[in-house]
Amino acid sequence: MSTWTRGTLPTEHRHSQPGVYLYWIPLGAGGSGFVRMNGFIYEAGKALWEHRRPLRLFHTALEVRLPEGDFIVETMWPSPDDATASRGVVLEGPVFAPWLSSTRVFRYEVRCWRDGILPDAGHAIGGPHRVSGDLVVARGLLDQVGSVPALIWGRDQLEAGDMWNSNSVISWLLATAGLPMDAISPPERGRAPGWEAGVEMARRLSVSMAQS
């Protein structure tokens, strides 16, 4: 069953070339600076631990453009209010620990928002990147949004060396859609924490289905 829902405002690319578009948005772009500062501290510590230079961190989102409408697919934390239907929320998950998710502050939400809003789209490096023009792939990806594994944000439950977060959701959707993940990478000198966790989760589910 489709999980598509209608938002309020059209995207700036409405009625353009159909397909799946990926946005690489610098972490904290357009915000107050709090998220950007915390990302900087996190990456500085991570780079020191791994004996490398710090990289630019990115948040990812998708725009799926179809003849019948455009859809924003994004994961956000925290959930701003209980009006989830108004922004196309199809799934919620816990942040840091399941018992904390009783409050919105510790819940993330996965959105599939028809004619929705991607507030920081203008900050995306290189604008939207078209990763597929196949309408079958695009529609199949949309139908999988409600099936995203609701793993715990900020935890490495897969023991894959990467935590689950918003980027994991996007990479899981792209990998599950069958897109060549080796050909999709962040802008130069950048990385998207959580990306590999999503790819690994998709791989394990694929193996499990093949064995069943």
Contact between residue 3 and residue 112 where contact means Cβ atoms under 8 Å apart: yes
- Of the candidates 197, 191, 199, the one whose C-alpha atom is nearest the C-alpha of residue 47 is 191
Phi-psi region of 35 (alpha: psi -120 to 50; beta: other; left: phi over 0): alpha
Per-residue pLDDT tens digits for 19-52: 999 999 999 887 667 778 888 888 899 899 999 9
> Residue 161's closest CA among 203, 193, 205?
193
Domain boundaries of the chain, sorted by first residue: 5-211
Residue of 2 and 182 predicted with greater confidence: 182
d(CA 114, CA 172): 20
Which pLDDT does position 40 carry in this prediction?
Answer: 81
Q: Model pTM greater than 0.85? A: yes
User: In which region does residue 96 sit, left (phi positive, over 0), alpha (psi from -120 to 50) or beta (all else)?
Assistant: left
pLDDT digits (tens, 9 = 90+) for 152-169: 999 999 999 999 999 999
Confidence category of residue 10, pLDDT binned at 50, 70, 90:
very low
pLDDT at 16: 72
Rounded distance between C-alpha atoms, residue 160 and residue 25, angstroms: 24
Omega cis (within 30) before 119: no
Instruction: List, in sequence order, every beta strand (DSSP E) within 95-161.
Output: 107-114, 129-132
Helix (H) or strand (E) holding 159: none
